[in-house]
Amino acid sequence: MKTMKTLFVSVLAFTFLLSSSRAQEFEPNYEESKVPDYELPDPLIFPDGEKVNTPSEWEKRRKQILQLFENHVYGKMPGKPEGMSFEERKNIPGALDGLATLKEIRIHVEQNNQKHHFDLLLFIPNEPKKPVPVFLGLNFDGNQTVHPNKNITITDAWVSNDDDYNIHNHQATEATRGMKQTRWPVERILDRGYALATIYYGEIDPDYDDGYKNGIHPLFDQEYLDTDEGNNCASIGAWAWGLSRGADYLEQDPAIDNEKMAVLGHSRLGKTALWAGATDQRFDIVISNCSGCGGAALSRRQFGETVGRINNSFPHWFCENFKKYNQNEEALPVDQHMLMALMAPRPVIAASAEEDQWADPKGEFLSVKHAAPVYKLLGKKCLPVEEMPVINRPVYNTTGYVIRDGGHDLNNYNWEIYLNFADEHFNKTWPTK
């Protein structure tokens, strides 16, 4: 009996040491001196070593790179569902003291005898007499969090618990109205002549690991779920798919200029916005805010959150194959500068925050910088600097970058930059009052 007890204690000790060791394995790195030497793959070199010399050759290379990201990072991206319809549940022309028309659109999707729906919240400025450009982005915790307006429906989908906002049993409450409004300056966006559309990402796919059985995953054919190939469509892929369904609605709404759609996201949803922009070229501008590892930051730098750390903490975000590159980033056939290059020739901008070392600001800047050869091949101007700019000094042409003071957040300063960036690339003069 004593021997069995000793063995049991030994097993517990070994398990503890193993888990501790694994946790230490994936600790973030905040020291530049520990960044390994690395060599980035060249987006303009075919697998056989031939150089990409023309825009038409780039289109062929682009398809190869997109497939590499599907197979090794985000998983295969499904196309449009077999069935889809849009149900206008609210249309309030005099919302926000007459500033906007508020719409709620339920997007119904159907495939493989499965049905699902999620809601798009849309604010359209009332003053313009012609279709307006639009920003589309996913939000955390529900559409009701972006503005305290009482007309906005509170999501009944799964949300993360939060004692500060009385969220228990994963259900949102009245206390969540406007809780994230500092990230969504709705009135300012409308005043600049833009519409704003947003979807709660948890209605598309709840953000927890359940083996891809909830959200929209049951709609997908087995080829997008089968992990034998390791390129299953994971949560970031599902959220990006949902953004494309949002674009499906926006391009047929007569109030929206469907040739001027910008997609943006913050943090994990910044990763999502980049993947949506890569897979859906209807997004005319792509904006990444503090997206870090698996987003704008170079994986090979192994700075801040690493591939191993993100896969260990959030195993459902990326496809199974991505886990092969835990502490093995050099073996990746792609890196995030190639993701940025997939946006070309469309404008793309990445933003970092000085205190957000977890997201590796330098790695985000370098991704934008090293996408330049593709943009230049397509006749576009790139970053006007070779070194990281100073704090709060945005730099951009067709590609852009800014690092602001402060921490991991999306705030008014970011939005002013994104509005100015959109003004320039949409050739838009915003209303003055």
pLDDT score recorded for residue 430: 52
pLDDT score recorded for residue 431: 52
pLDDT score recorded for residue 129: 81
Residue 254 within a domain:
yes
Residue 14 within a domain:
no
Residue 330 within a domain:
yes
pLDDT score recorded for residue 286: 98
What are the residues whose beta carbons fall under 8 Å from the beta carbon of 208, sequence distance 6 or more?
A: 158, 316
Choosing from 235, 267, 288, 352, the catalytic residue is: 267
Number of domains in the chain: 1
Residue 26 within a domain:
no
Q: Around Cβ 15, how many Cβ atoms within 10 Å?
A: 10
pLDDT tens track for 405-420: 999 999 999 999 999 9
Residues of the chain below pLDDT 50: 1-21, 23, 432-433
pLDDT score recorded for residue 4: 42
Residue 11 within a domain:
no
Tell me, yes or no, if 267 is annotated catalytic: yes
Residue 73 within a domain:
yes
What CATH number has the domain bearing residue 223?
A: 3.40.50.1820
- From the number of C-beta atoms within 10 Å of its C-beta (0-12, 13-18, 19+), residue 32 rates as exposed
Closest of 364, 387, 348 to residue 301, by C-alpha: 364
**Which pTM was predicted?**
0.94
Question: What is the b/e burial string over 317-350, where b = at least 16 CB atoms within 10 angstroms of the residue's CB?
Answer: bbbbbbeebbeebeebebbbbbbbbbbbebbbbb
Tell me, yes or no, if 408 is annotated catalytic: yes
**Cross-strand pairs, 134:** 195, 261
Residue 23 within a domain:
no
Give the integer Cα–Cα distance in Å for 350 and 287.
6
Closest of 360, 306, 348 to residue 330, by C-alpha: 306
pLDDT score recorded for residue 306: 97
DSSP three-state, residue 117: strand
Q: Provide the domain limits for residue 283.
A: 45-425
Residue 430 within a domain:
no
DSSP three-state, residue 68: helix
